């Protein structure tokens, strides 16, 4: 218990002795540390909150007690300059699997998304598919995200964005507060290793990626919805507005880096179609996550740059569900209540130094991913 209290007390900065660990022993130390923290009971964070020892409620601008007050207002300046600069400086290494753990994590994020879409947002009916077959290639019809419109919030260098496009999405919009990482994403889209299908490579293939840098999702939502309101007003068909919203929105590994996660999630909901799916992933606020995501990943293995994460900004699945599903519904978020439909942990596989991941529905103590669906009005 004393060790856990010390970890919590130094949540944003590990003890100085960890900074002088011999590089030759880093892998051994990390493996032992991972195993030790893996033995921490998975429900310890509930006890911590029950005992009132968590520093999160006192420090966070969007703590659980204030979620309801913030959820109905979009914060157009919801970007931390220090966080933006941090990831801008990392931009040139975004696609380097040796430097960016998200490269190894991306396949299981895609697997989770595909499973959710197959179960809760299946492809169009057989009749519609038969009609589409007359105007599209068979290859496109079989792609799991065929004809989906997707928004990737915090797209970074485009890891997830490109994958979504390769899976058949008709449009993927990648938005990030950093212009530097978006420039990396744009350049990589034309790299031979991106394996993106160009719109000109198949006559009937209409996939498109659009990157927008230097903007928050709140700012995007404000301008996007205003434009579509004009389109709807000027059109005799109300379906035009509907078609410009998104089938799927992803906010993966982003809410732990913004001042007001509730504002970001509220803006995301406003851009979802009815029956649309919002996917969120982040890191749970537990002793285990401090040991693995900060001490091991940043200070021992060096797989993540030091200072990437702040433990106080981690969020539990229950807190995020409250922000998304329990807030007051307003016309600003497009109406329609959100429901959690899937939850899984994302767990490192041994040997841990390789940064290979697997989905585990029973372990959300560190990294986790969840899906929420907007109900029909």
Sign of CA dihedral 253, 102, 352, 28: negative
**Residue 110's CB: how many other CB atoms inside 10 A?**
18
Average pLDDT of span 138-166: 88
Q: In the predicted model, what is the mean pLDDT of the chain?
A: 77
Tell me the pairing of strands 171-176 and 208-213. Answer: parallel
User: Does the structure show a pLDDT above 60 at 202?
Assistant: no
User: Does the structure show a pLDDT above 50 at 56?
Assistant: no
Average pLDDT of span 48-63: 36
- Of the given ranges (244-248, 363-367, 373-377), which has the lowest mean pLDDT? 373-377
200 pLDDT tier (thresholds 50, 70, 90): very low
CA atoms of 181 and 84, how far apart (whole Å): 9
Alpha-carbon distances of 195 from 185, 186, 189, 282, 354, rounded to whole Å: 13, 14, 8, 28, 24
Three-class DSSP category at 207:
coil
User: Does the structure show a pLDDT above 50 at 24?
Assistant: no
- Of the given ranges (157-161, 239-243, 349-353), which has the lowest mean pLDDT? 239-243
CB 347 within 8 A of CB 366: yes
17 pLDDT tier (thresholds 50, 70, 90): very low
User: Does the structure show a pLDDT above 80 at 284?
Assistant: yes
| CA proximity to 11, closest of 319, 285, 366 | 285
- Of the given ranges (135-149, 217-231, 252-266, 356-370), which has the lowest mean pLDDT? 135-149
109 pLDDT tier (thresholds 50, 70, 90): very high
Residue 141 neighbours by CB under 8 Å, 6+ apart = 129, 132, 133
Residues 180-196 as b/e (b if ≥16 CB within 10 A, e otherwise) read bbbebbbebbeeeebeb
What is the enclosing helix (H) or strand (E) of 131?
helix 126-132
pLDDT of 233? 76
Average pLDDT of span 305-324: 95
Tell me the pairing of strands 338-349 and 367-374. Answer: antiparallel
CB 144 within 8 A of CB 117: yes
Alpha-carbon distances of 361 from 1, 218, 327, 343, 364, rounded to whole Å: 27, 31, 26, 7, 7
194 pLDDT tier (thresholds 50, 70, 90): confident
CB 321 within 8 A of CB 340: yes
CB 280 within 8 A of CB 324: yes
CA atoms of 93 and 96, how far apart (whole Å): 5
In angstroms, what is the C-alpha Rg of the chain?
21
Structure pTM? 0.77
Q: Let me know how long the chain is.
A: 377
User: Does the structure show a pLDDT above 60 at 9?
Assistant: no
- Residues 234, 236, 238, CA angle at the centre, nearest 5°? 95
Three-class DSSP category at 373:
strand
Of 173-187, 221-235, 301-315, give the range with the top mean pLDDT: 173-187
CB 181 within 8 A of CB 205: no
245 pLDDT tier (thresholds 50, 70, 90): very high
- Residues 335, 340, 341, CA angle at the centre, nearest 5°? 115
pLDDT of 333? 62
pLDDT of 195? 66
Of 37-46, 64-73, 80-89, give the range with the top mean pLDDT: 80-89
Percentage, residues of the chain above pLDDT 70: 66
pLDDT of 235? 61
């Amino acid at each position: 218990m004393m060790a856990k209290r010390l970890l919590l007390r130094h949540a944003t900065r590990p003890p100085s002795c960890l900074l002088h660990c011999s590089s030759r022993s880093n892998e051994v130390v990390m493996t032992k540390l991972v195993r030790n923290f893996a033995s921490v009971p998975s429900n310890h964070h509930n006890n911590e909150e029950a005992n009132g020892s968590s520093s999160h409620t006192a420090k966070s601008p969007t703590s659980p007690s204030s979620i309801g007050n913030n959820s109905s207002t979009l914060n157009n300046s919801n970007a931390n300059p220090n966080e933006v600069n941090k990831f801008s400086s990392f931009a040139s290494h975004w696609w380097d699997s040796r430097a960016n753990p998200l490269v190894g994590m991306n396949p299981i994020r895609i697997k989770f998304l595909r499973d959710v879409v197959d179960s809760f947002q299946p492809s169009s009916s057989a009749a519609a598919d038969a009609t589409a077959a007359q105007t599209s290639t068979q290859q496109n019809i079989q792609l799991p995200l065929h004809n989906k419109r997707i928004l990737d919030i915090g797209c970074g260098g485009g890891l997830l964005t490109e994958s979504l496009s390769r899976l058949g999405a008709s449009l993927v919009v990648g938005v990030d507060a950093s212009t530097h990482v978006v420039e990396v994403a744009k350049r990589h889209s034309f790299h031979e290793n991106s394996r993106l299908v160009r719109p000109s490579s198949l006559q009937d293939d209409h996939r498109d990626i659009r990157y927008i840098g230097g903007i928050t999702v709140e700012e995007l939502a404000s301008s996007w919805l205003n434009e579509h309101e004009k389109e709807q007003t000027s059109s005799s068909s109300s379906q035009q507005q509907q078609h410009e919203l998104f089938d799927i929105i992803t906010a993966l590994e982003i809410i732990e880096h913004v001042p007001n996660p509730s504002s970001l999630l509220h803006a995301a909901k406003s851009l979802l179609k009815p029956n649309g799916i919002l996917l969120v992933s982040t890191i749970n606020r537990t002793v285990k996550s401090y040991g693995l995501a900060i001490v091991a990943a940043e200070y021992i293995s060096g797989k993540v740059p030091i200072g990437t994460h702040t433990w106080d900004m981690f969020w539990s699945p229950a807190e995020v569900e409250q922000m998304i599903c329990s807030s007051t519904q307003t016309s600003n978020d497009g109406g329609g209540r959100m429901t959690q439909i899937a939850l899984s942990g994302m767990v490192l596989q041994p040997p841990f130094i390789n940064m290979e991941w697997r989905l585990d529905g029973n372990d959300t103590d560190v990294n986790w991913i969840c899906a929420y669906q907007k109900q029909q009005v």
